[in-house]
Chains A and B, each alone.
Chain A
């Protein structure tokens, strides 16, 4: 690439070094692309078992809060809540590797690609209460690009789990890095945490922003700045 600047060549080298290091550690460190597939490839009957166990738990919960679990509005609530909980944790049923592996393409693109304002809904692992917001993902391709909707799918898989926002951000960034090995990845996640709004500190307007900058985005301030401007999430 004739028009690549000196600094990005250096970054290329740094990035390659990182990957050589990673390959050495591969045996010990498992890939984020395979991480967290706690319910992958489960049978129907196993799924039913999970549903039944959840139903029982929710039934006890309804009685324990003092409600009358026999009244019309609550009769089928354990079943609905169980299905809802399994849906909110469906990120455990797929590996990122399966989702992205056939959507990586060779492309001569060497400018930043940003997918922003991706809505996410996750469950905080400390209180099992939803947090939700927007994600912005940017990367500088290195001869390979990833299907755009796959970026959204990566976000979806990691967010539909019991999460901590910092970890979620890191996992998204690492997954993109491992999948296409770009020159750099940047991820910004901005969320409202209901566990902080509905209870506890009860701060209604507060939002939490976390970010992960890898490769070029970490070493090169200009690249980072470009991402922060292009990839700024709209307010919600």
Chain B
């Protein structure tokens, strides 16, 4: 596709430095014409897909949209909720959560002065702060210096990354595995950074669908590959320990961007390389 190649040319020529903004604040016109498409800024087909996927959840991989695109905030630069915490603020948080847990222990009818429960509020508070430590880092900090120029043209898959998250609806853990794949476009990402991206997004109050999308978008923004694919398969304790109480059920969500969305063969290759075995 000629037009697609032209898009890539633009990005190959542009300087890639640490402060390169993927969505420049002043829109630039792309001079080449696309069918019935008007672009407002320099976006690759991949990032355009990310934006359009926010409008409709269609799986058809349709790139030719006439509706004007709403600007999405950058996932990389999204401000982390607790990024600017000082030690004092952190201690205050732990104290407030400790008091909350003390209230919880009393409200369920337990004797919070017995030996096993004496220090439980403090332990539980520190555990909760640990489970939400994903709020303390921005993705750009995690990723920024591990992007390398590399001539790799084949799929890179990091699979079966263990994740542990908290469901935001019940504050009960869900856990499982993530497989991430991408097709590099002259730039690769440090492998452990992929795992770190997964970690930062999962250590938050999450919804599995959003978690999956955020991982995919972060990688897409960071290295602008030809495509990104993410599969997340988890067991939700909120469904196993209570409610429906379906002990063996798992939830699988996926996010396919770029060539992974458009090309079924690529998608198939990822699914066979990155498949998550039963756990």
Flag if A130 contacts B173 (CB, 8 Å): yes
Known A-B contacts A58-B171, A130-B173; A197 and B164 likewise in contact (beta carbons under 8 Å)? yes
- Asked if A125 contacts B205 (CB within 8 A), the reply is no
Mask, A135-163, CB within 8 Å of B = 1, is 00000000000000000000000000010
**Interface residue? B265 (CB, 8 A):** no
Whether B168 lies near A74 (C-beta < 8 A) is yes
Q: Mark B142-175, 1 if CB is under 8 A from A, else 0.
A: 0000000000000000000010100011111101
B136 → chain A closest CB, angstroms = 9
User: CB of A101 within 8 A of chain B?
Assistant: no
B82 at the A interface (CB under 8 A): yes
- Could you tell me if A61 and B128 are in contact, using CB atoms closer than 8 angstroms? yes
Is A109 interfacial (CB 8 A cutoff)?
no
In the complex, B56 has a CB within 8 A of chain A: no
Judge whether A86 and B127 touch: CB under 8 Å: no
A65 touches B116 (CB 8 A): no
The segment from B33-41, B57-65, B107-115 that touches chain A is B107-115
Per-residue interface assignment for chain A, residues 61 to 100, with 1 indicating a CB less than 8 Å from any chain B CB and 0 otherwise = 1111111000001101100110011111100100000000
Q: Whose C-beta in chain B lies nearest to the C-beta of A37?
A: B109
In the complex, whether A119 has a CB less than 8 A from a CB of chain B is: yes
Residue in A closest to B132 when the chains form the complex, CB atoms? A65
Task: Establish whether residues A73 and B131, one from each chain, have CB atoms under 8 Å apart when the complex forms.
Answer: no
B242 touches A65 (CB 8 A): no
Whether B135 lies near A66 (C-beta < 8 A) is yes
Q: Does B97 contact A (CB under 8 A)?
A: yes
Q: Which residues of B contact A50 (CB under 8 A)?
A: 107-109
Nearest-neighbor residue (CB-CB) of A78 within chain B: B171
Which of the listed residues A54, A67, A92, A199 has the most CB atoms from chain B within 10 Å of its own CB?
Answer: A199
Q: How far is the CB of A139 from chain B (nearest CB, A)?
A: 25
- Chain A residue contacts of B132, Cβ below 8 A: 65-67
Q: B106: CB under 8 A from chain A?
A: yes
* Interface magnitude class on chain B: 35 or more
**Are B169 and A80 in contact (CB-based, < 8 A)?**
yes
Do A128 and B124 form a contact, CB below 8 Å, given A73-B207, A92-B109, A199-B130? yes
Question: In the bound complex, do residue A57 and residue B207 qualify as a contact, i.e. CB atoms below 8 Å apart?
Answer: no
Which residues of B67-123 have CB atoms within 8 Å of chain A's CB atoms? 81-82, 85, 93, 96-97, 99-101, 103-111, 116-117, 119-120, 123
Closest chain B residue to A161 by CB distance? B110
Q: In the complex, what residues of B have CB within 8 A of residue A65's CB?
A: 82, 93, 97, 128-129, 132, 135, 205
B100 and A60 contact, CB distance less than 8 A: yes
B171 to chain A: closest residue by CB: A81
A84 touches B124 (CB 8 A): no
- Whether B123 lies near A127 (C-beta < 8 A) is yes
Report Cα–Cα, A61/B103, bound state, in Å: 11
B240 within 8 A of A: yes
Contact: B108 with A86, CB < 8 Å?
Answer: yes
Q: How far is the CA of A27 from the CA of B4 in the complex (A)?
A: 85
Task: For residue B127, give the distance in angstroms from its CB to the closest CB of chain A.
Answer: 5
Chain B minimum-CB-distance residue to A54: B107
**Beta-carbon contact of A84 and B175 below 8 Å:** no
**Is residue B241 within 8 Å, beta carbon to beta carbon, of the partner chain?**
yes
Structural contact, B207 and A125, CB atoms closer than 8 A = no
Q: Which 9 A-B pairs have the closest CB atoms?
A: A38-B109, A66-B81, A53-B107, A57-B103, A57-B100, A64-B96, A198-B164, A121-B241, A66-B82
Could you list 6 further interchain pairs (A-B, Cβ under 8 angstroms) beyond the known A53-B103, A58-B171, A73-B169? Answer: A50-B108, A57-B104, A60-B99, A77-B169, A119-B247, A130-B172
A-B contact list, 23 entries, CB within 8 Å: A50-B108, A53-B107, A58-B104, A60-B99, A63-B96, A67-B81, A67-B132, A67-B135, A73-B168, A76-B169, A80-B169, A85-B108, A86-B108, A121-B240, A128-B104, A128-B124, A129-B124, A129-B173, A130-B241, A132-B241, A162-B117, A194-B175, A204-B162
